[in-house]
Amino acid sequence: MIRAAVVCALATIMVQVPLGTAMSVLIRTDHLPARERIEFVQEEVAPRTWVPLECGALGADLDFCFELRTGQFGAIQVNLVTSVPLIVRRTPKLIRRSAPDLLKLVTPVHGYGGLVVIQDGRQAHLERPGDFALYDTRRPFEIRTVDVEEGSLAQVVTMHFPSTLLPVPPSQLKHLTAVPMGPCQGIGALTSKLLTQVAHSIDEYTPVEAARLSTAALEVLATRLAHELDRDGWVPPETHRHALLVRIYTFIQEHLGDPKLSPGTIAAAHHVSLRYLHKLFQEEGATVAGWIRARRLEACRRDLADPALASRPVTSIAARWGFSSAAHFSQVFRGAHGIPPGEYRLRTQAGATAGAKADADGGIVHAT
């Protein structure tokens, strides 16, 4: 009975709120009976907006209060949570139900005495706004608040995105989870400010702006993570090999448009042998040429889906990202996405136009 009531309530307390040219969703629990609110968050909100989780209040259930504003910021889903102190767990049982390849980032905004993120045998204590940590939804984790007055409300920002969007070696991600990263000088301050700003202004950008800014935000985050990997004494010595690989990934990203980019030029730029370069990628289950091709295809796919570039010829987009042969580009794009690049552009931009028209005509209507 409770679950049926919770499902019914979902339609009345999810409110899509236009605050500009973008759209976020506001989810509240104050319309539900107090003793049904935790189940609502655990069974309905978490699977729809994050991943299946166990959650509970660090206090009396009857005082439970929860509000979530969530929206898509390009490739990043951004969530601003206002709630009483919580404890959240992802267990092996829940992972067996659903294990998407997602990385999540969490940072306190205000009101918390601190957050603790636990994963991979480490604990990250986030004590101030701007501190943040990563965790991986494919492995068990726990997040809880500390030093918070029972029943008080506070805010936390979480973001999640596919791990493949970060140019970080897959084998290295376990070294980055549950590691506290603060708003230190330089890239640290920039990372924290950018992530917090994104969460508070998600409705102020057009979809095109959001897509571009999300790419920039992920690149800034990747630079910060590379800095963490390169710190002396932070992880075992073999990690420096992975830090080199991160720098190589960044170099490739910065030179994608150069048709002369090759394993030879990459090896020379990093003062390593060609053989060692290939070995680095082989240990990650990839090839140098394959990585370059995948990054170029993703850049082309993003440009083809961008309405602001609708007048740019497909061949021009391909050349911009290092494909010197239009026929070769069309072949590899079809192999990756199942359709030619021109057809992909028509489908994605037609879908975006239809969605925008539906919103303008009031096609999305949820209100309390």
Q: Which residue has the higher pLDDT, 355 or 214?
A: 214
Q: Quick: pLDDT tens for 256-289.
A: 899 999 999 999 998 889 999 999 888 888 899 9
Report the DSSP pairing between strands 154-162 and 115-119: unpaired
124-148 mean pLDDT: 86
Domain ranges of the chain: 2-232, 255-356
Determine the 3-state secondary structure of 327 from DSSP: helix
Between 59 and 76, whose confidence is greater? 76
- For all residues of the chain together, what is the average pLDDT? 78
From 243, 230, 232, 286, select the one nearest 263 (Cα to Cα). 286
Most confident of 87-101, 241-255, 347-361: 87-101
SS3 251: helix
Among the four given CATH numbers 3.40.50.300, 2.60.120.280, 3.40.1160.10, 2.30.42.10, the one describing domain 2-232: 2.60.120.280
The pTM of this model reads: 0.61
d(CA 202, CA 209): 10
- Average pLDDT in the 15-36 region? 67
Beta bridge partners of 23: 18
Question: 145 pairs with which residues across the strands?
Answer: 115
pLDDT at 223: 75
pLDDT higher than 60, residue 19: no
* Spatial distance between the Cα atoms of 64 and 55, rounded to a whole number of angstroms: 11
Can you give the pLDDT at residue 230? 64
* CATH fold for domain 255-356: Arc Repressor Mutant, subunit A (1.10.10)
pLDDT at residue 143 is higher than 60: yes
pLDDT, mean of residues 42-46: 82
Alpha-carbon span 50 to 112, nearest angstrom = 21
